Amino acid sequence: MQPAAPATAQPTAPSAATPAPETAPSNPIPAPSVSPNAAAPAATDQPVGQTAIGRAQLPQDLSPWGMFQDADRLVKVVLIGLAFASLVTWTVWLAKMVELRTARREVRDGLRILANAATLAQAHEQLRNGTTPVAQLMQAAAQEIRLSANARGDGLKERIAWQLERLEMATSRKISRGTGVLATVGSTAPFVGLFGTVWGIMNSFIGISNAHTTNLAVVAPGIAQALLATALGLAAAIPAVMIYNLLARQTTHYRALLGDASALVMALVSRDLDRAKLPLAQAAE
């Protein structure tokens, strides 16, 4: 009897019920997906042509002096002319205020002398060597009296009145000298400034056309430079008109004081003629 052959172990197939082992992922956190257009989000915010305008091309100083330096040549001429007109306005105001104040004080002093004088000879004695307007009125009356020494006295007062009126007009013209410049500045300065503004805005529109952009950062500096001319024109015109009106009122007051002085001189002449106690030619010497 032969021995039984040993049973060979047969490999057993893995059971289908046993789950296969899972391999761990090498990168548990997924990488975010990057859009190709996300790198330049601001590129679509500006229209074509605006990105070519660099900040270096735009004026950095928007102060009045900076805008003047960056302005067009003709606009600069307008601004300089308006600044000079404003300087002339304030110079005339200062000079005429001093002149009118001095002239009014001199006329008031002469009025006090005429009011306190009883006769023409007394007033002439105090004013014969003076250079004030009242002294000139008195000297003109005395001169006419001397020239009329051998003539009839019927028309003496009329001749003296004509002489005094002529002196009043000459003194008024002298005191009003220089105020016409204020009227000219006040009436023309706004239009000169407007001309500078129109020219500056026209150049701004030309620059917009050449740059092919309507970006406000490009347009605003040129328009601001243009509007500076209008602002300076108004700054020159408004004080000129106000100062002209002020000087006109003070000149009218000064003329009224001269009229009072002429009336007092004529009163002294008429008083001496009515008294007829001495020849007026001797009183005026």
Q: Is the distance from CB of 192 to CB of 81 less than 8 angstroms?
A: yes
Residue 58 CA: distances (Å) to CA of 46, 53, 213, 222: 17, 8, 13, 10
Per the listing, tokens 């009163």 go with 267
The answer to whether residue 10 is domain-embedded is no
| Residue type at position 178 | G
The answer to whether residue 27 is domain-embedded is no
H/E segment holding residue 155: none
The answer to whether residue 45 is domain-embedded is no
The answer to whether residue 7 is domain-embedded is no
| Total domains in the fold of the chain | 1
Report DSSP letters for 52-115, one per residue: T--GGGS-S--SHHHHHHHS-HHHHHHHHHHHHHHHHHHHHHHHHHHHHHHHHHHHHHHHHHHH
d(CA 61, CA 70) in angstroms, rounded, equals 9
What share of the chain in percent tops pLDDT 90?
29
Q: Is the distance from CB of 226 to CB of 204 less than 8 angstroms?
A: yes
The answer to whether residue 204 is domain-embedded is yes
Q: Is the distance from CB of 220 to CB of 207 less than 8 angstroms?
A: no
The answer to whether residue 36 is domain-embedded is no
d(CA 230, CA 228) in angstroms, rounded, equals 5
Tell me what pLDDT residue 84 has.
94
- 40-67: average pLDDT: 50
- 96-112: average pLDDT: 92
Residue 96 CA: distances (Å) to CA of 19, 101, 212, 276: 114, 8, 54, 44
Per-residue pLDDT of 224-276, as tens digits, reads: 778 888 889 999 999 999 999 999 999 999 999 999 999 999 988 888 887 76
The answer to whether residue 8 is domain-embedded is no
d(CA 62, CA 76) in angstroms, rounded, equals 15
The answer to whether residue 53 is domain-embedded is no
- Nearest-10 Cα torsion for 271, 284, 134, 108: -60
Per the listing, tokens 């197939």 go with 13
Give the range of the structural domain holding residue 245, as residue numbers without chain letter: 60-284
Q: How confident is the model at residue 64 (pLDDT cuts 50, 70, 90)?
A: low
- 38-54: average pLDDT: 43
